[in-house]
A and B are shown apart, each in its own frame.
Chain A
């Protein structure tokens, strides 16, 4: 598989516990924030997004929190399962001229059975 997890911080959680993955961003003009999950041998997969005028958004077992004051984004995963083991990336984008996704470094989530 792809060794995308090298040099990345790792979060280890017990199966069934809740996970919190944190991310900082730098562009105060960004208007969308996205979390991606990347499993070994695959490309990043969209999990959930949040618009800059919101501070919380919930999906299925996942919640994203946005704190624009400190430029901080977090992903909460409820009842973490072995299938959640992957590398997680946050990304932000300003959807104006020359818009592009800017990715964070990524965090490896490891779920202990």
Chain B
């Protein structure tokens, strides 16, 4: 069974731009969660989608948004990029909403210059 895939793996953007990251969950998994990982703050929860609905949201500004499609693939969008948005963005999939057995993708490394 294929694992969680994320595209692109690396991205360089300029302040003020917007970016869209994509995540394909493990086949059969309907929940996708997104996390931001930085050296200073560690892994922080952004949001979770299950059956195309946002089920939970972390403490991030409204510039961070996401969505989920009927095939469970998910995208997250960051608008008006700031230097502090540079991070590794990880998505994780699980079978159930709020499940503790989450399987992570390799992440997208976003650098904002």
Contacts and interface: CB of A to CB of B under 8 A. Distances in A.
Given A98-B56, A100-B56, A45 B104 contact: yes
A22 to B, nearest CB: 16
A100 B33 contact: yes
B58 A106 contact: no
A7 B39 contact: yes
Contacts of B65: none
B105 interface: yes
Nearest to B109: A2
A41 to B, nearest CB: 7
Interface in A1-59: 2-4, 6-8, 32, 34, 36, 41-46, 49
User: In which size bucket is the chain A interface?
Assistant: 20 to 34
B56 A42 contact: no
A99 B44 CA distance: 14
Interface string A49-72: 100000000000000000000000
Contacts of B35: 103
Nearest to A36: B104
A36 B43 CA distance: 12
A25 B37 CA distance: 19
Given A2-B107, A2-B109, A100 B101 contact: no
Contacts of A88: none
Contacts of A104: 42
Contacts of B42: 89, 103-106
Contact of A99 (B56, B105, B106): B56
Given A44-B92, A100-B48, 6 more contacts: A4-B37, A7-B39, A95-B98, A95-B99, A103-B43, A106-B43
